[in-house]
């Protein structure tokens, strides 16, 4: 796996092949041990070095209107954790926005969001981050994989391996202990059994109905290596869809 692909997949929480994480903390009574350990391992994964790449948010709303918003994606590695940064460029009447997700293995995620008429960042945490980024189908919490921070984590059908995208997967169900009226109550994610990659996820609301579906898209060949091409978020309520697309030049694979 290339340096870029590893850093990008860890930054988005999608795919990676890093050394095993340290042991998870003692599981809470409402969750099973394997689910807690898997969620802890995914939370502890961190990129080894900085990264910067450009791309585009391609949005199709529920009425079929399409909008493309250029963005820049960065990973910034620090001594006590790391940051994933999403920064859009103005597109027509859509103002620029910036999101900094502050990751730490020992503390909950923090979301520093700024945009509109004021670029002064607002600090958000937990369900506060379940708001749209750049009017897309990605919430701030989606970009930080906030569901992995929830205390209730369990493996569904422990004895069974599920196939998704031609890969053997374990199904992890994460439950939100205090969901907001419009947020997720649970997320079911398909984790690659071999490399612990999140390849697909479904988010459900307070009424038990599907809200969103997240899926890793294709890959593209860059400098002789395969790199992630896009990831997709679909809103099941409105049938809107956003594709987070990455753009490469031939010097980017490293």
DSSP 169-181: EEEEEEE-SS--T
CA separation for the pair 31, 175 (Å, rounded): 9
Tokens of 192: 């690659």
CA torsion 242-243-244-248 (nearest 10°) is: -150
Contact (CB, 8 A) for 147 and 154: no
pLDDT at position 247 = 87
Query: pLDDT by residue (tens digit) across 69-83?
Result: 999 999 999 988 899
Give the range among 114-118, 167-171, 177-181 with minimum mean pLDDT: 114-118
Tell me the domains of the chain and their CATH numbers.
Answer: 3-247 (2.50.20.10)
Cα 21 from chain centroid (whole Å): 19
- Bridge partners (DSSP) of residue 136 are none
CA separation for the pair 144, 102 (Å, rounded): 9
Tokens of 210: 């599907």
| Secondary structure class of 4 (helix, strand, coil) | helix
Query: pLDDT by residue (tens digit) across 93-149?
Result: 667 899 999 998 778 899 999 986 667 899 999 889 999 999 999 999 999 999 999
Contact (CB, 8 A) for 217 and 237: no
């Amino acid at each position: 796996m290339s340096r870029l692909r590893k850093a990008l997949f860890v930054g988005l929480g999608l795919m990676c092949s890093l050394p095993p994480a340290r042991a998870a903390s003692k599981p809470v009574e409402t969750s099973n041990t394997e689910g807690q350990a898997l969620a802890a391992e995914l939370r502890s994964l961190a990129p080894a070095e900085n990264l910067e790449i450009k791309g585009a948010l391609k949005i199709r709303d529920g009425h079929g209107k399409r909008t493309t918003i250029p963005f820049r994606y960065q990973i910034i590695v620090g001594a006590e954790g790391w940051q994933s940064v999403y920064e859009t460029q103005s597109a027509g009447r859509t103002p620029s926005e910036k999101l900094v997700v502050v990751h730490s293995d020992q503390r909950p995620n923090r979301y520093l969001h700024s945009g509109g008429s004021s670029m002064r960042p607002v600090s958000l945490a937990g369900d506060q981050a379940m708001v749209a980024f750049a009017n897309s189908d990605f919430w701030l919490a989606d970009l930080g994989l906030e569901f992995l921070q929830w205390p209730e984590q369990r493996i569904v059908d422990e004895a069974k391996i599920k196939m998704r995208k031609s890969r053997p997967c374990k199904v992890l169900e994460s439950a939100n202990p205090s969901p907001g009226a419009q947020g997720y109550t649970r997320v079911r994610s398909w984790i690659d059994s071999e490399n612990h990659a999140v390849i697909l996820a479904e988010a459900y609301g307070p009424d038990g109905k599907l809200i969103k579906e997240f899926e890793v898209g294709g890959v593209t060949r860059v400098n002789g290596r395969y790199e992630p091409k896009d990831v997709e978020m679909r809103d099941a309520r409105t049938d809107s869809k956003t594709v987070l697309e990455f753009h490469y030049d031939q010097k980017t694979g490293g």
